[in-house]
Amino acid sequence: MIMELVAESLKLTVLAGLAIAGILVIIIWKKNQTTKVTYMKAVIQAASLAAIFYLFTYPVRPLLILAVILIMPIVLGRFFCGWICPFGLYMDVLTLIRKTFQIRYRVIPDKLNKFLHNFRYALLLLFLSLALILSLIEPPSTLNRLTIMALLFAGPFEHLGLLLGPMVPLIVPWKGPLEIGGLYFSFPYIQDVIKYSSENFVTINALIFLALTGVGSFFVRRVWCRFCPTGASIAVVNRFKGFKWAPVLHLNKNETKCTKCGICKRVCPVQVTEVYEQKGGKIMTSMCMLCFRCVEMCPYEDCLIVNLGRKTVFKSRNWLEPSEVD
């Protein structure tokens, strides 16, 4: 059993390492290509979706995947949310459709947005407590070392699988809730909604969830990210002062170049205000998903800089005509 878990962890670490290394190589290779951040992000999100689909066909325990997602932010901050998460990609596609129809997005008031950001931690705590209570209600028959190892990844702790909700591809390599032509379709969290709904309300609950997240994401950019317990778990690591030194991927601001034009605040998909408000230095807020949209759109050269270790990978550029700057 232990050897099996070690082998699975190693396989997963190698896969995750290769994926992250690939993404970082592309970013470094494309360094200073700030004009192409949105385009590169879309390509990497799509490639990640394909890799995640493949990962789910692989005999790896889902909660080991979760462990990798939760360890990654120690080094890369919320890079997963900005560049990899499939649910993030679906919401970005809805944003693109809304833009195509030239419909304006809705802005959540800053105070409410910050409240929701902090409220996610309460949701996460509640959710983890429930998982713990369920594990106590259904205790294992013996508590030897092997059982504890198994408990970490299965048994009553299967409820933690909900944290993998945002990773669910639209076409799934398992028996999903909707079958068309031999293909199974799903949606983030939909199987959890079905699992935790009482029999009479399964369909209605699933439809309500789909409608709320679909319509919500259409009008409010990255709406689910304001509630997401997985996002909170990823961000929680970077909230601890003890880990502040660890991430190698940073967004920095050069205050002397900032004209307070406010563009960074307007283009941020999760309405981070710190880039606008902070007086230079590293932007450390756990709300930031490191998507670098603000760097792409900031119109003053070297005002916003993304560093990977000591290497600059993206930086803002002068894209306003000199007459407009003046």
- The residues that touch ligand SF4, with contacts defined as CB under 6 A, are 81, 85, 87-88, 166, 224-225, 228, 230-231, 251, 253, 258-264, 268, 270, 272, 275-276, 288-294, 298, 300, 303-304
Q: Which two tokens stand for residue 184?
A: 């199974």
Give CA angle at 266 (86, 238), nearest 5°: 55
Residue 166 or residue 169: which is nearer to ligand SF4 going by CB? 166
- Provide Rg for the chain, Cα atoms: 21
Residue 147 or residue 278: which is nearer to ligand SF4 going by CB? 278
Alpha-carbon torsion 57, 58, 61, 64, what sign?
negative
Residue 190 or residue 264: which is nearer to ligand SF4 going by CB? 264
Shortest Å distance, C-beta 65 to ligand SF4: 13
Residue 113 or residue 147: which is nearer to ligand SF4 going by CB? 113
Residue 27 or residue 225: which is nearer to ligand SF4 going by CB? 225
Nearest residue (beta carbon) to ligand SF4: 231
Alpha-carbon torsion 179, 182, 184, 185, what sign?
negative
Residue 209 or residue 276: which is nearer to ligand SF4 going by CB? 276
What share of residues in the chain are helix, strand, coil (percent, to 5)? 60, 10, 30
Query: Residue 90: left if φ>0, alpha if ψ -120 to 50, beta else—which one?
Result: alpha
Shortest Å distance, C-beta 7 to ligand SF4: 27
Shortest Å distance, C-beta 129 to ligand SF4: 20
Residue 124 or residue 268: which is nearer to ligand SF4 going by CB? 268
What is the per-residue DSSP string for 113-160?
Answer: HHHHHHHHHHHHHHHHHHHHHHHHHS--S---HHHHHHHHHSGGGGGG
Q: Which two tokens stand for residue 199?
A: 């029999």
Shortest Å distance, C-beta 306 to ligand SF4: 8
Shortest Å distance, C-beta 216 to ligand SF4: 12
- Short-list 135, 199, 125, CA closest to 163: 125
Helices 2-29 and 37-57, axial angle in degrees (round to 10): 160
**From edge to edge, which strands make up the β-sheet containing 178-180?**
171-172, 183-185, 178-180
